């Protein structure tokens, strides 16, 4: 419009002034909002520049990640429930099962994001927040609830649960900082928080079956006595195990990414034997095989590292002058 007015009335100053004003208005309207905000407001104060960032979400990986968080919240709610229809063992069994459900969602969301090419920083941060709930807070609540029948004071069991949660937070923060985009996701420095939470959850799931061995008269007296001793000792073992798992999470021991290796089809010959051993143990011990499998995964790397150091020490002593 301003150029058209200049052509029709080239000698009229009034029209020239109008054309100049309209051109200024057009140029101002064509400027981005951020540039207009750089001017002064009607109060004379400079306006702050506003930047709007739009975030697009990957639907499938995000829903899987949120499913992990829902499992953690449900595990906390059930573990702390006062419903008289549920026994304490049943509550811990369901809470432990929900933690395993969170582990399944946590394993699937990362794989789904990589397969669909939808990896993002937002997904990584959301995953860590949900992991803090499911693998940090929920296991601590299970330890607190299980501590009701323990001989340890409640303050000590509470402190153990808090320490476990803090180590999970440190573990997740360190993983986010040290993991880059080129990471192969084949291993971890330190025990992964899902494995640590799964170890505690496996004991919560196995306790009702162990109580069945201790109280069922169909089993021999020796089996009942042994199961009763295990139940009594598990009260102290659970507290010590929580402390050890908290340390392993912030350690530098090397752990393999089991799910990633299964997805990629990488299996060593000895892993086939381990899988057969797990299947046979599960068929014989049922849910009691879960704590054995998770403890094997958690303690194998540090035991191997200690044995390696012990083997190197005599060699150094012999070679030393």
CB atoms within 10 A of CB 59: 10
pLDDT at 13: 47
Residue 81 to residue 86: CA distance in whole angstroms: 9
CA-based angle 257:200:154, to the nearest 5?
A: 145
Residue 83 lies in a domain: yes
pLDDT at 123: 86
Express each pLDDT in 180-195 by its tens digit: 766 656 778 899 999 9
pLDDT at 262: 57
Residue 140 lies in a domain: yes
Express each pLDDT in 205-215 by its tens digit: 988 888 877 77
Query: What does pTM read for this prediction?
Result: 0.74
Question: Would you list the DSSP string of 205-227?
Answer: HHHHHHHHHHH-TTS-HHHHHHH
List the CATH number of the domain containing 126. 1.20.120.1760
Rg (CA), the chain: 31
Question: In the predicted model, is pLDDT for residue 6 greater than 60?
Answer: no
Express each pLDDT in 216-250 by its tens digit: 777 788 878 888 888 777 878 888 999 999 999 99
Residue 13 lies in a domain: no
Query: Which H or E run includes 255?
Result: strand 254-256
Domain containing residue 241: 59-180+187-271
Residue 214 lies in a domain: yes
Coil vs helix vs strand at 181? coil
Quick one: which of 62, 71, 36 has its CA closest to 119?
Answer: 62
Residue 153 lies in a domain: yes
Helix, strand and coil in the chain, % to nearest 5 = 75, 0, 20
Residue 74 to residue 122: CA distance in whole angstroms: 24
Least confident of 21-35, 146-160, 242-256, 303-317: 21-35
Residue 308 lies in a domain: no
Asked if residue 234 lies in contact with residue 204, where contact means CB atoms within 8 angstroms, the answer is no
Question: In the predicted model, is pLDDT for residue 135 greater than 80?
Answer: yes
Residue 195 lies in a domain: yes
Domain count, the chain: 1
Residue 250 lies in a domain: yes
């Amino acid at each position: 419009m301003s150029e058209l007015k200049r052509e029709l009335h080239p000698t009229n100053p009034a029209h020239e002034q109008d054309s100049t004003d309209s051109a200024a208005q057009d140029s101002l309207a064509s400027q981005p909002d951020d540039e207009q905000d750089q001017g002064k407001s009607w109060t004379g104060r400079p306006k702050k520049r506003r930047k709007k960032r739009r975030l697009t979400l990957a639907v499938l990986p995000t829903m899987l990640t949120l499913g992990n968080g829902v499992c953690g919240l449900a595990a906390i709610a059930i573990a702390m429930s006062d419903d008289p229809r549920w026994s304490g063992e049943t509550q811990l069994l369901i809470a432990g099962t929900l933690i395993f459900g969170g582990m399944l969602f946590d394993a699937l969301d990362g794989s789904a994001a990589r397969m669909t090419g939808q990896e993002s920083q937002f997904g990584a941060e959301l995953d860590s927040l949900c992991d803090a709930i499911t693998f940090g807070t929920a296991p601590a609540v299970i330890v607190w609830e299980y501590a009701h029948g323990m001989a340890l004071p409640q303050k000590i069991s509470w402190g153990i649960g808090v320490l476990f949660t803090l180590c999970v937070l440190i573990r997740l923060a360190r993983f986010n900082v040290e993991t880059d985009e080129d990471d192969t996701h084949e291993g971890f420095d330190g025990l992964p928080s899902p494995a640590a939470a799964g170890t505690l959850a496996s004991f919560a799931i196995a306790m009702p079956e162990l109580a069945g061995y201790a109280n069922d008269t169909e089993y021999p007296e020796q089996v009942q006595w042994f199961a009763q001793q295990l139940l009594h000792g598990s009260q102290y073992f659970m507290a010590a195990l929580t402390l050890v798992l908290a340390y392993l999470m912030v350690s530098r021991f090397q752990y393999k990414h089991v799910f990633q290796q299964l997805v990629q089809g990488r299996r060593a010959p000895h892993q086939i034997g381990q899988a057969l051993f797990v299947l046979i143990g599960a068929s014989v011990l049922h849910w009691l095989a879960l704590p054995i499998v998770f403890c094997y995964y958690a303690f194998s790397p540090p035991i191997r590292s200690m044995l390696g150091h012990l083997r190197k020490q005599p060699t150094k002593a012999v070679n030393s002058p």
